[in-house]
Amino acid sequence: MSHDQWGFVFNKENCIQCHGCEVACKTWRNIDLGVNWRRVINLWSGEYPHVTCSSASIACMHCIEPACIDVCPTAAVSKHATDGIVLVDAEKCSGCQACLDACPYEVPQFGLDGIMQKCDMCLSGKPDGSNFSQKAPPCVSTCPTQALVLQKMTVSQKKEAEQTIKVLLNNQ
Amino acid sequence: MTKQPEQASENCAFTLDQAKAVAQEAGEQVVPTYCAMCGPNPTCGIYAFVKDGRFTRVAGMAESPLNKGGVCPKGHAAPQWVYSPDRLRKPLLRKGAKGEGVFQEISWDEAISVIADRLRQQKVQYGPESLAILSPARRSYSDFIQRFLIAHGSPNYGHSGICFVQREFAFSYTIGGQPRCDYKNADLIVLWGRQPIYSGPAMGPARDLVAAKRRGAKIIAIKPSVEPDVGMADIWAPLRPGTDAALALSMLNVIIGENLIDAPFVEAWCYGYEQLRAHIRKYPPEWGERISGVPAGQIQEIARLYATTRAATIDLGNGVEHAPSSSDAIRSVAILMAITGHLDRPGGNLLGGGRRSMPSPKTVNLADRYTQEMVDKLVGPELPKVFQPFWGGTSSAYYRILDSVLTKTPYPIRTIIAPGTQPTVSNRGSKRVVEALKKVDFYVVLDVTRTADMNYADIVLPVSTPYESDHPFESRGNWIMARNQVIEPLGDYKSMYEFFLDLGVQMGYGADFWNGSITDCQNYQLSPFGLTIEELREYPVGLVYDPKGNARSYENYSRIFKRRSNALSHEPYLPQGKVAIYNTTFEREGYNPLPEWREPPESITGTPELAKKYPLILSDYHTSKVYSASWQRNVPYLREIQPFPTLHIHPATAAARKINDQDWIIVESPHGWMKVKAELYPGIRPDTVMILHGWWQGCRELGFDDMPILDGGANVNNMYSVDPDQAFDPLITAMSSQTLVEVRKYEP
């Protein structure tokens, strides 16, 4: 496994909760209604009047050690050795949803065909995905405040990025 | 896996060359143009991608100095709006009864003829003032509305009375103009009734706010509920809706009482400070707490912090423009800025010492043709006649135009044109608005998709989206760019601009309407640039003028405080050449010389008896993260994010009524009722509930039906008082968006 993996970094302080990333993902990848490869969620903390709200933009983290790979009975999920991108093979997926139970970020989505789908970082080499090879994915490039960043990172940096999202989700 | 970026750049949006390369790989074309999802206006620059003649997707334009490559969810969802099954296809002529929705398709030429014949006949019979055109929020075509009205001879431009002009007016007559906020240099930013994120998230303010926060600036947010700006704030002052004037008056009490003023500025540049000092004693923070619900200690804290922070700016938003004391709130805030020495100084509130290096296009509003006779004929002046024309021209209040049809006072409007605006859901008093639309002689609707009230129209005209049109060019700040056509029109469409030009020609006003040529019109507007529209189009991402030419100076008081108004008298805004703390102009016209407090028509402190039956305050949100005002509910990618009309209610308030999250509930005020969903919302005052305005539209792709416009629907504008004596600010026609309600679970 290479120490240089691509990954998303979410900077909570910069996020203005505009949902631009979420809809950019849907239009650029032509995602079905009811399916979200990326979602922006509100995170409440405190009690009135000392209450506040921030948000998190969450898609597949392309984890260092993806739980979805471990639980998949048909070996439909795999991780690229070169860049760390986690991909789903629709031919192999049985739609059992074991990955949904395993994923700490509630990422796996199931459309009308029942097959698992999720973010492929727009770098998967599929005809649609190849569009973005020159630049960051649309979710990143559309962000008005650079709250979402795509970076090549070391294993420890990626673990940190994973931990950031886990903490945000657990503090909900 | 080719050409991956080695490192994420600071801004990785597309430039034109990069957009073209991406388009080429996918067999697409790319068209640089403007986003139109909160316009048409000079808004974000985008690259529109087109495949086989179909508009498919959008990327932000990195070269645009406005959005710098960012795009919000509305901008990305644009193709779904363009290809909506709700698009109007052909001009329609009413065949059935008003409201029935039975129409016959006609041609554009026939439609323009029918309208022109009716306007000519009414002009002879009732005078040109019998025509009113309702304005939506400020759009690029607003000046064309003014132009047509003036050419026709009517002063009745129907401005909403709920947005922008209220601040522009009260600021101008107190401190000489509406100030800008110096986010970039401020150590303290007070966001007051302001939403800098939902209103154009990809444009400057949100970016500047994030940068200020990172720089260590302190942020105070003043509003009834938690929105994203509150999430960024250090202090949240949750005030009751409509009580901004009370809070501002109490802050003045603290600052004056503790002598936290900039004495040399007050001495040199303020008129009437001594009168204010005596007057303000009746508004101590304990009084402010009783009215606004903000604790007295917090009022003191905010007042002291603001007065004692040298670089402090107040960003006063649209939230203060919806109450009977709106003018007093804005005047009080202007006085706060002045007496604490925050006007036109770095990090404070700037009054226009800037000079732009870019020329301004010629305006098309014919404002030099106003006469006293026209001003006298205003059917329902938005501002007192003596102050008209004001911003962009004369204006009657949108609601008062509709009301004149029912009251016939001072005379009934005979034709109403609604270009891109929906009176039944965009303005208060929906029940009376429906009655007026049933009764008015002639009603013309122009829009892109079905509207809430088109069934009352005599003529419905389908207009092109700006993506199907190559005009108008737009300019803002130091950037000017042509609008380019993305796709061929999908139906029998004209643009809003072509409509006014064609109608002008048909009415015999052709000389004022470039004989129908939009190209000649744009060339006229561009003359200060020494460019034709075709020459401008040769710059695909427009022209950016050197911002270094934008020299700024501070403390321009002697110049700014002498500004003359646009009123026919051209009297200066500030007769003493100083900040009008004590306002002799308003006093002369019979209004309060000093700001005071007026209760909303229904409130906990103003109508305590009514509050026993209706214990909660209801108000509404003017903006949302995914919708522009009352449109776009039919865009599926947006509707998914905010699928239902939901009432924000504090969990404790809900629990006391056995209401759970996402339950359907009935919300009842003395004026109407809604059926909506409850959203248990920890960040709202427990005595207040709030909902987004503008709900009526269904979304076919997601199986959502339209909702009723009046009782039983989700239209909050049906819930408020429109009592002429209580629901309006007497000076600036701000209409109240506060009432009292009770909420209960819906039992089918």
- Residue B195 carries which side chain, given as an amino acid letter? Q
Whole-angstrom distance, CA of residue B49 vs CA of residue B27: 10
Here the CATH number for the domain that contains residue A61 is 3.30.70.20
**Residue B3 is assigned to a structural domain of this protein:** no
B645: its two tokens: 């009309």
pLDDT at B259: 98
Q: A67: distance to nearest CA of chain B, Å? A: 24
Here the CATH number for the domain that contains residue B616 is 2.40.40.20
Q: What is the pLDDT of residues B81-127, one digit of tens each?
A: 999 999 999 999 999 999 999 999 999 999 999 999 999 999 999 99
Here the CATH number for the domain that contains residue B193 is 3.40.228.10
Whole-angstrom distance, CA of residue B255 vs CA of residue B326: 21
Give A48's contacts in chain B (Cβ within 8 Å): 238, 650, 682-686
Buried b (16+ CB within 10 A) or exposed e, A49-64: bebbbbbbbbbbbbbb
Interface test with A, best of B76, B207, B632, B702 (most A CBs within 10 A): B76
The number of helix segments (H) and strand segments (E) in chain B equals 26, 28
Q: Domain boundary at B57, B82, B107, which?
A: B82
Whole-angstrom distance, CA of residue B358 vs CA of residue B65: 13
Helix (H, G, I), strand (E, B) or coil at B197: coil
Torsion of CA B484, B486, B487, B490, to 10 degrees: -80
What is the pTM (predicted TM-score) of this model? 0.96
**Residue B612 is assigned to a structural domain of this protein:** yes
Question: Does B186 share its domain with B51?
Answer: no
Give B704's contacts in chain A (Cβ within 8 Å): none
Instruction: Give the CA angle between residues A156, A160, A161 to the nearest 5°.
Output: 120
Q: Are the beta carbons of B326 and B166 closer than 8 angstroms?
A: yes
Q: What is the mean pLDDT of residues A81-100?
A: 93
What sign does the CA torsion over A17, A18, A19, A21 have?
A: negative
Q: B470: distance to nearest CA of chain A, Å? A: 24
B375: its two tokens: 């001003």
Whole-angstrom distance, CA of residue B437 vs CA of residue A45: 47
Whole-angstrom distance, CA of residue A130 vs CA of residue A109: 22
Chain B residues 188-217 with CB within 8 Å of chain A: 197-198, 201-203, 206-207, 209-210, 213-214
Bond prior to B472 in cis (omega within 30° of 0): yes
Domain count, chain B: 4
DSSP symbol at B142? H
Torsion of CA B475, B481, B486, B490, to 10 degrees: 40
DSSP symbol at B14? B
Whole-angstrom distance, CA of residue B94 vs CA of residue B114: 12
Question: Does B379 share its domain with B348?
Answer: no
A69: its two tokens: 């790979």
Q: B232: distance to nearest CA of chain A, Å? A: 8
Q: Which residues sit opposite B743 in a β-bridge?
A: B667
Q: Answer yes or no: do B67 and A17 touch at CB < 8 A.
A: no
Question: Does B276 share its domain with B336?
Answer: yes
Q: B244 is in which domain, residue-wise?
A: 176-354+556-588
Whole-angstrom distance, CA of residue B604 vs CA of residue B326: 18
Q: Answer yes or no: do A125 and B18 touch at CB < 8 A.
A: no
Q: What is the pLDDT of residues A138-165, one digit of tens each?
A: 999 999 999 999 888 899 999 999 999 9
Chain B residues 433-472 with CB within 8 Å of chain A: none
Question: Does B570 share its domain with B623?
Answer: no
Q: Are the beta carbons of A169 and A32 closer than 8 angstroms?
A: no
Q: Are the beta carbons of B463 and B437 closer than 8 angstroms?
A: no
pLDDT at B681: 98
Question: Does B410 share its domain with B463?
Answer: yes
Whole-angstrom distance, CA of residue B433 vs CA of residue B405: 9
Across the interface, of A18, A134, A136, the residue whose CB is closest to B21 is A134
Q: In what order do the strands lie in the sheet with B54-60?
A: B29-34, B45-51, B54-60
pLDDT at A129: 41
What sign does the CA torsion over B312, B318, B322, B328 have?
A: positive
pLDDT band of A128, cuts 50, 70, 90:
very low
Interface predicted TM-score (ipTM): 0.94
**How many residues in total does chain A contain?**
172
Helix (H, G, I), strand (E, B) or coil at B383: coil
Question: Does B404 share its domain with B494?
Answer: yes
pLDDT at B11: 57
Here the CATH number for the domain that contains residue B75 is 2.20.25.90
Bond prior to B324 in cis (omega within 30° of 0): no
Question: Does B309 share its domain with B424?
Answer: no
Q: What is the pLDDT of residues B331-366, one digit of tens each?
A: 999 999 999 999 999 999 999 766 778 999 999 999
**Residue B594 is assigned to a structural domain of this protein:** no
Would an 8 Å CB–CB cutoff place A102 in contact with chain B? no
pLDDT at B252: 98
Question: Does B69 share its domain with B107?
Answer: no
Q: Domain boundary at B25, B52, B82, which?
A: B82
pLDDT band of A124, cuts 50, 70, 90:
low
Nearest CA in chain B to A145: B207
Give B236's contacts in chain A (Cβ within 8 Å): 49, 52
Q: Answer yes or no: do B57 and A51 touch at CB < 8 A.
A: no
Task: Quickly tell me which residue has 């004989």 as its tokens.
Answer: B515
Q: How far is CA B620 from CA A58, B319, B483, in A?
A: 30, 9, 34
Task: Quickly tell me which residue has 């321009």 as its tokens.
Answer: B556
Task: Quickly tell me which residue has 């032509």 as its tokens.
Answer: A30
**Residue B595 is assigned to a structural domain of this protein:** no
Q: Are the beta carbons of B575 and B585 closer than 8 angstroms?
A: yes
What sign does the CA torsion over B574, B579, B585, B591 have?
A: positive
Q: Answer yes or no: do A142 and B11 touch at CB < 8 A.
A: no
Here the CATH number for the domain that contains residue B461 is 3.40.50.740
Domain count, chain A: 1
Question: Does B532 share its domain with B388?
Answer: yes
Task: Quickly tell me which residue has 């700490």 as its tokens.
Answer: A104
With a cut of 60, say whether residue A61 has pLDDT above it: yes
Q: Which residues sit opposite A47 in a β-bridge?
A: A50
Q: Are the beta carbons of A83 and B4 closer than 8 angstroms?
A: yes
DSSP symbol at B706? P
**Residue B410 is assigned to a structural domain of this protein:** yes
Q: What is the pLDDT of residues B59-68, one digit of tens each?
A: 999 999 999 9
CB atoms within 10 A of CB B282: 11
Would an 8 Å CB–CB cutoff place B656 in contact with chain A? no
Whole-angstrom distance, CA of residue B425 vs CA of residue B448: 17
Q: A89 is in which domain, residue-wise?
A: 5-170
Q: Are the beta carbons of B542 and B480 closer than 8 angstroms?
A: yes
Q: Answer yes or no: do B228 and A135 touch at CB < 8 A.
A: no
Would an 8 Å CB–CB cutoff place B26 in contact with chain A? yes
pLDDT at A130: 44
With a cut of 90, say whether residue A5 has pLDDT above it: no
DSSP symbol at B236? E
B123: its two tokens: 């002009």
**Which residues in chain B come in under a pLDDT of 70?**
1-11, 353-354, 548-551
Would an 8 Å CB–CB cutoff place A138 in contact with chain B? yes
Backbone angles phi, psi at B385, to 5 degrees: -55, -35
Question: Does B195 share its domain with B316?
Answer: yes
Q: B75: distance to nearest CA of chain A, Å? A: 8
Q: Which of B481, B567, B624 is nearest to B67 (CA)?
A: B481
- Classify residue B300 as left (phi > 0), alpha (psi -120 to 50) or beta: alpha
On the 0-12 / 13-18 / 19+ scale of CB atoms within 10 A, B684 is: buried
Q: B615: distance to nearest CA of chain A, Å? A: 19
Coarse DSSP helix, strand, coil percentages of chain A, rounded to the nearest 5 percent: 25, 25, 50
Q: Are the beta carbons of B16 and B63 closer than 8 angstroms?
A: yes
Question: Does B53 share its domain with B128?
Answer: no
DSSP symbol at A163? H
Residue B629: CB partners within 8 Å, gap ≥ 6? B136, B137, B426, B622, B623, B693, B694
Q: Are the beta carbons of A62 and A5 closer than 8 angstroms?
A: yes
Q: What is the pLDDT of residues B457-495, one digit of tens each?
A: 999 999 999 999 999 999 998 999 999 999 999 999 999
Whole-angstrom distance, CA of residue B333 vs CA of residue A139: 39
Whole-angstrom distance, CA of residue B672 vs CA of residue B214: 46
Using alpha carbons only, how large is chain B's radius of gyration in Å? Answer: 25
Buried b (16+ CB within 10 A) or exposed e, B259-273: ebbbeebbeebbbbb
Q: Answer yes or no: do A20 and B25 touch at CB < 8 A.
A: no
Q: A116: distance to nearest CA of chain B, Å? A: 20
- Residue B25 carries which side chain, given as an amino acid letter? E
CB atoms within 10 A of CB B216: 7
With a cut of 90, say whether residue A96 has pLDDT above it: yes
Question: Does B382 share its domain with B512?
Answer: yes
